[in-house]
Amino acid sequence: MSVNKARYDSYRSELDAVIKNIEHVIVGKKQISELSLVALLAGGHVLLEDVPGVGKTMMVRAIAKSLGLQFNRIQFTPDLLPSDITGVSIFNQKEMNFEFRPGPLMGNVILADEINRTSPKTQSALLESMEEKSVTIDGHTHILPNPFFVMATQNPIEYEGTYPLPEAQLDRFLLKLNMGYPTPDEEMSILSLMIHDHPIDTLKPVVTNVQLQEMKQKVTEVYVDDTVKKYIIDLVTRTRNHRSIYLGASPRGSLALMKASQALAFIMDRDFVVPDDVKYLAPYVLTHRILLKPEARFEGESAESVVMDLLNRVPVPIQKGQHAR
């Protein structure tokens, strides 16, 4: 145990540094930065649903900079074509052949801004690349760089002229997060912080890519006890027969919940998952994977409230051999 602990300690300092870096730029959003790291370490992607101007871009840039990763931003518009993001082959007249010009997708950390503004064709190109970690153009498969982390944003207010993401595609995001407005105190310190230069310009990488890869490897080694797995499965299966839910979460949901829990446990300096990890992450992992019945929506229920309701009901296993029923 002591050996394990020492190893985690070494990562602990780096993880702390990353979070500190992000906090340097984004005031008071430690939870969101942590959750973003969870998604990154678990190899997943994040859907940020929020109004403009709360610092989504800044946070993604801060993560990218702290990890020394290449950051690309794609502003989705209705006329954006798939090739505009993946890249395109251009005929080189000098060399008389087609030459691949990589698009903005060919980066480590991608901010896909207002993803619901673009056509489903372009959306699916993005989501496919997220899942496959590669793009195929003109019969050539181009492997995307590693790590590949997409943070897509959606504006929950404006729906005119948007193409809402279908259920199947929402499923591809590991977590769905909400930034929310800062508190007045936090906003005060934001103003003081930004009065001269933007701090993002001074941010230095604190983790190397190699270390990041190591960490990702370690995350997969975090132990998940059978009782915890049962708890996850119990939660997810309950979404499938809840009275307010029209469509429950898929097995991909269980998998996502487990992977995210592993990453969270790792960040929390543990080599095993506890039910608290699961309970904490469940709203972020499950809400975008379930569809409410219309009548439930009319009654004022939301995906969040239903998931919270489930969490308040599913018994937590606290004993070996005891399985949640």
Partner 1 sequence: MPIVQAYKVERSYSLYSLVLYILGFMLLWEWLRPLNQISSTEDTHVFVVFTAFLFLVTYFQWPWWISFPVKFVALMYALHSLYYPDLFLSFQWVPHLLGDIQANIAMIWSRNWTDLSSVTRSLLFLILLWLVSYLMNYWLMQTKRIFLFLFMTVFYITVLDTFTPYDAKVAIVRTVFIGLILVGILRIMKIVEKEGFSLMKGRFPVMWMVPLTVVIALSSTLGLLAPKASPQWPDPVPFLSALSSSGEDVPGDGNSFGRIGYDTNDSRLGGPFKFNYEEVFTAKVKERHYWRVETKDTYTGKGWETSERDEPLFLDRENVEYNALGSNLIEPGGAEMEKQKASIKMTKRYPFIVSPGVITSLRARDDVNFLMHPQTGKINTFSQNRTTELKSYQMDYELPQYDEKKLRESGGDYPRYVSGLYLQLPTKLPKRVKQLASRVTSKLDNPYDKAKAVENYFALNNFGYDTVNVRAPKKNEDYVDQFLFKAQKGYCDNFSSAMVVMLRSVGIPARWVKGFTYGEYQETNKDYKTYKITNANAHSWPEVYFSGVGWVPFEPTRGFSNPSTFEEEIQSAAAPAAPAAPKDKKKNEIKPEQKEKSADKAAKKSDSGLNIAGFVTLIIVLAAVLSVALFRKKWLRQYYIWKFRREKGEGTFAEAYHRLLYLAQLYGLKRDPAFTLREYAAYVDRSLDTKDMKMLTSAYESLQYGRRDSRDYWNDTNRKLWENLIKSLRG
CA distances, 73 to each of 70, 95, 108, 244 (Å)? 10, 31, 11, 38
Counting contacts by CB under 8 A, is residue 243 touching partner 1? no
Which residue's CB is nearer to partner 1, number 255 or number 316?
Answer: 316
Counting contacts by CB under 8 A, is residue 181 touching partner 1? no
Pair type for strands 46-49 and 175-177: parallel
Counting contacts by CB under 8 A, is residue 274 touching partner 1? yes
Which residue's CB is nearer to partner 1, number 246 or number 272?
Answer: 272
Shortest spacing between CB 257 and partner 1, in angstroms:
15
Q: Which residues have C-beta within 8 Å of that of residue 134, sequence separation ≥ 6?
A: 141, 142, 143, 144
Counting contacts by CB under 8 A, is residue 313 touching partner 1? yes
Write 241-248 long-range contacts (CB < 8 A, 24+): 242/306, 242/309, 242/310, 243/293, 243/296, 244/292, 244/293, 244/296, 244/301, 244/306, 245/290, 245/291, 245/292, 245/293, 245/296, 245/306, 246/291, 246/292, 246/293, 246/294, 247/167, 247/290, 247/291, 248/290
Q: Exactly one of 89, 227, 237, 305 binds partner 1 (CB under 8 A); which one?
A: 227
Counting contacts by CB under 8 A, is residue 312 touching partner 1? yes
Q: Apex CA 294: angle with CA 292 and CA 297, to 5°?
A: 70
Alpha helices of the chain — where are they, by DSSP H? 2-25, 30-41, 56-66, 82-86, 120-132, 167-170, 184-193, 209-221, 226-240, 251-267, 275-286, 294-298, 303-311
Q: Which residues have C-beta within 8 Å of that of residue 237, sequence separation ≥ 6?
A: 248
Counting contacts by CB under 8 A, is residue 269 touching partner 1? no
Counting contacts by CB under 8 A, is residue 1 touching partner 1? yes
Counting contacts by CB under 8 A, is residue 198 touching partner 1? no
Which residues make beta-bridge pairs with 137? 140
Which residue's CB is nearer to partner 1, number 36 or number 239?
Answer: 239
Shortest spacing between CB 269 and partner 1, in angstroms:
12
Which residue's CB is nearer to partner 1, number 1 or number 195?
Answer: 1
CB atoms closer than 10 angstroms to residue 201:
8
Shortest spacing between CB 238 and partner 1, in angstroms:
11
Q: Residues 291-310 vs partner 1: string with x where CB under 8 A? A: --------------------
CB atoms closer than 10 angstroms to residue 70:
12
Shortest spacing between CB 303 and partner 1, in angstroms:
19
Kindly determine how many residues on this chain lie close enough to bind partner 1 according to the rule CB under 8 A.
22
Contacting range for partner 1; rule: CB under 8 A; set: 52-60, 83-91, 187-195, 316-324 = 316-324
Counting contacts by CB under 8 A, is residue 275 touching partner 1? yes
Q: Exactly one of 9, 276, 295, 304 binds partner 1 (CB under 8 A); which one?
A: 276
Counting contacts by CB under 8 A, is residue 271 touching partner 1? yes
Shortest spacing between CB 273 and partner 1, in angstroms:
6
Q: Exactly one of 94, 196, 243, 320 binds partner 1 (CB under 8 A); which one?
A: 320
Hey, which residues between 204 and 223 contact partner 1 (CB under 8 A)? 223
Residues within the interface to partner 1 (CB under 8 A):
1, 223, 225, 227-228, 270-276, 279, 311-316, 318-320
